[in-house]
């Protein structure tokens, strides 16, 4: 009985926190004011195009070198591929390829970032806090956003016929009303390498936004086959692409991926959300963090609860 009351209060609290009014005018007031004061006046054409498609469809993909130099891409790629090729990682990959299905666990993913401590010199965090990406995230959300975490995954083939599980199933992320993730592929991703799938217009005010909505703080995982009954398959985007494909995606809309049948997939994702986000922070602050060289938007992105002063 007590548990049911607690549960009901919890749902009511998150419902209120995520209601448009409270989300916009209470939790995100500061982020919106700062954004308005420092509007991104000089967006490049490619950023404008990304924003237009992201707003309309909830997903857009480009080449990473449309936004960063070949040299910057090469150093990020080298960093990641060196990680992939470390003997310990190779051993885990061999052991875990086609591992037995384990219910709801992400048994098919190996996380390649061993330390969760934020390191501004690490190429992964340099990428995550890239000004052009932050500008896009801010424009998309209409506010200064928070950077909430990264994952670098080796997604491995599943046993033949294994059911889709966890993030291989259609779902909406629980983090926020609206959010932006970037995904980068480090190897070519074809149909057999578990491409990210997305249902266009299932985000924001899109045509399919009210289909199986997220009951905060839970996210939404409709039963297998339910989505296909409601949404025509023309709305499904399958993000197959070459190494260097960069995907922008609002994962409050329906998405799934990582169901590899033959090839491994090496993918990095970064998460940006509003100050009202409810998912735990995905990194740990070091005992000292020098943010003096960062722009105001990057500093705001790193100001999260629990940050040492």
Q: Which two tokens stand for residue 305?
A: 């609860």
Q: Are strands 245-249 and 180-185 parallel, antiparallel or unpaired?
A: antiparallel
Q: Which of 183, 147, 184 is nearest to 273 (CA)?
A: 147
Beta strands in the chain, from DSSP E residues, in sequence order: 59-63, 109-111, 146-155, 180-185, 196-199, 236-239, 245-249, 255-256, 265-273
Compute the residue count for the chain: 309
Q: Nearest 5 degrees, angle CA 245-CA 296-CA 288? A: 90
* Paired residues of 246 in beta bridges: 62, 184
Q: Nearest 5 degrees, angle CA 290-CA 294-CA 300? A: 95
Kindly state the smallest distance separating residue 69's Cβ from ligand AKG, in Å.
26
Q: Are 183 and 272 in contact (CB under 8 A)?
A: no
Kindly state the smallest distance separating residue 219's Cβ from ligand AKG, in Å.
9
Kindly state the smallest distance separating residue 91's Cβ from ligand AKG, in Å.
22
Q: Which two tokens stand for residue 201?
A: 């217009």
Kindly state the smallest distance separating residue 32's Cβ from ligand AKG, in Å.
25
Kindly state the smallest distance separating residue 111's Cβ from ligand AKG, in Å.
12
Closer residue to ligand AKG in complex, CB, 35/112: 112
Closer residue to ligand AKG in complex, CB, 43/240: 240
Question: Footprint of ligand AKG on this chain (CB under 6 A)?
Answer: 167, 173, 181, 196, 251, 255-258, 269
- How far apart, in whole angstroms, are the C-alpha atoms of residue 166 and residue 258? 10
213 CB burial (10 A radius; 0-12, 13-18, 19+): exposed
Closer residue to ligand AKG in complex, CB, 23/198: 198
- How far apart, in whole angstroms, are the C-alpha atoms of residue 54 and residue 49? 8
Closer residue to ligand AKG in complex, CB, 35/151: 151
- How far apart, in whole angstroms, are the C-alpha atoms of residue 265 and residue 152? 10
Closer residue to ligand AKG in complex, CB, 35/157: 157
Closer residue to ligand AKG in complex, CB, 35/128: 128
Closer residue to ligand AKG in complex, CB, 130/251: 251
By beta carbon distance, the residue nearest ligand AKG is 257
Q: Are 283 and 116 in contact (CB under 8 A)?
A: yes
Kindly state the smallest distance separating residue 105's Cβ from ligand AKG, in Å.
14
Kindly state the smallest distance separating residue 157's Cβ from ligand AKG, in Å.
13
């Amino acid at each position: 009985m007590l548990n049911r009351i607690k549960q009901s209060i919890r749902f009511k609290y998150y419902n209120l926190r995520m209601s448009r009014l409270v989300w916009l005018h209470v939790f995100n007031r500061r982020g919106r004011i700062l954004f308005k004061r420092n509007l991104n006046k000089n967006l490049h054409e490619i950023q404008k195009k990304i924003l237009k498609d992201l707003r309309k469809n909830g997903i857009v993909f480009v080449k990473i070198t449309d936004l960063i130099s070949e040299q910057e891409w090469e150093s990020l790629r080298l960093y990641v591929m060196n990680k992939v090729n470390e003997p310990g990682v190779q051993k885990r990959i061999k052991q875990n390829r086609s591992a037995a299905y384990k219910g709801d666990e992400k048994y098919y993913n190996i996380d390649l970032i061993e330390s969760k401590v934020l390191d501004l010199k690490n190429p992964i965090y340099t990428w995550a806090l890239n000004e052009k990406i932050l500008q896009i995230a801010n424009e998309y959300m209409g506010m200064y956003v928070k950077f909430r975490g990264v994952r670098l995954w080796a997604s491995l083939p599943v046993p033949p016929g294994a059911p889709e599980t966890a993030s291989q199933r259609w779902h909406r992320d629980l983090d926020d009303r609206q959010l932006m993730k970037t995904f980068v592929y480090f190897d070519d991703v074809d149909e057999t390498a578990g491409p990210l799938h997305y249902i266009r217009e299932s985000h924001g005010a899109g045509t399919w936004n009210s289909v199986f909505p997220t009951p905060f703080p839970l996210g939404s995982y409709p039963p297998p086959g339910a989505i296909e009954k409601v949404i025509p398959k023309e709305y499904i985007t399958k993000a197959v692409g070459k190494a260097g494909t960069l995907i922008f995606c609002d994962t409050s809309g329906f998405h799934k991926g990582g169901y590899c049948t033959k090839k491994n997939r090496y993918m990095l994702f970064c998460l940006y959300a509003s100050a009202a986000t409810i998912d735990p922070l995905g990194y740990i602050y070091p005992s000292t963090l020098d943010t003096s060289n960062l722009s105001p938007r990057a500093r705001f992105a790193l100001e999260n609860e629990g940050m040492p002063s």
